[in-house]
Amino acid sequence: MFRPESDWTKQERFGVTDFNIEATASILDTRVDIRHFNWVLPSSGPFSPEKHYLDYSLDRQPRRSLITMGRNDRRALSGDVLYLPPHRPYIGQPALQERHLVCVAMGEAFLENIFDGQRPMQKLDPCADIQNVVMRRLFEGIAIELRSPGFASKTIIESMLMNLAVELVRHVGSEETRSPASRCTRQVRHISDYIMGNLSGPLGVADIARGCNMSVRHVSRVFKEATGISLGDFVARSRIAMAKEMLRSEDARIKEISWRCGFSSTSAFSAAFRTATGQTPKEFRQPPASMH
């Protein structure tokens, strides 16, 4: 079987056709990509990822692949979100399906930066079907940035991958596993959650500090030190990322999207969007004209 976190370039792709990596990004020893392939022949076999592996199905139909995790009685169907810790034996039985996946392979250097040298992911168990709305939204946001990169896309993707790792520990880990995460990491997560949940409202530093029950000085410092970007930049990039998602997936009017993303006017939204992406919201929404 293939190691799922690899790009399969050096592996014989038995039973698979139409393999293609649509887009990819790397941060330290972590890699994320969007890939497409089609299982056309029955197969099964053992595999073991070398990094923490997560993937998310961009397809609407449910996955039917079976994974045996450690013991024969631990067999499960893959869901929308799958997590497999590294260096453990698994047996895969892929369903004969066409797949579009966002695949993430998280390395130790990247995780060490997030968790301040702690290793809360070392004790996580595999999970074939993670039911977590926040993680789904993060995966969707990563896919949008990979497919339509704009200003500082790599920074935005890095931030979403950081949040993905923290949310995974919060969702899958036990209380004992979660406790080593530093106070700083929890605060950054709290700040990020507040921003993402209030993008349509005022998000000045004072508003964020008040909403997170922190001082203005502390909320700015802890976020900057942990992420390398200012609160203002993160808010601006998050609003553009949300606007991209809505322009791609919803039929709402641009005026409504502008309001829901927290812009004071449609003209302010258009100007900010064009600065970030090189396109107006209308141009971004329209598919490219076909060549004849």
pLDDT digits (tens, 9 = 90+) for 12-52: 677 888 889 999 999 999 999 999 999 888 777 888 899 99
CB 246 within 8 A of CB 260: yes
Both tokens of 21, joined, read 């990596």
Residue 181 has a pLDDT of 43
Half-sphere exposure for 140 (CA within 13 Å, toward CB): 17
Q: Which CATH architecture has domain 16-132?
A: Sandwich (2.60)
Both tokens of 149, joined, read 């990169």
| pTM for this entry | 0.61
Residue 208: is its pLDDT beyond 90?
A: yes
* 229-234: Cβ within 8 A, 24+ apart: 229/155, 229/159, 231/191, 231/195, 231/205, 232/205, 233/152, 234/159, 234/192, 234/195
pLDDT digits (tens, 9 = 90+) for 59-115: 877 777 888 876 555 678 888 899 999 988 888 888 888 999 999 999 998 988 888
Secondary structure percentages of the chain, helix, strand, coil, to 5: 45, 20, 35
pLDDT digits (tens, 9 = 90+) for 244-289: 888 887 778 899 999 999 998 999 999 999 998 888 999 988 765 5
CB 111 within 8 A of CB 121: yes
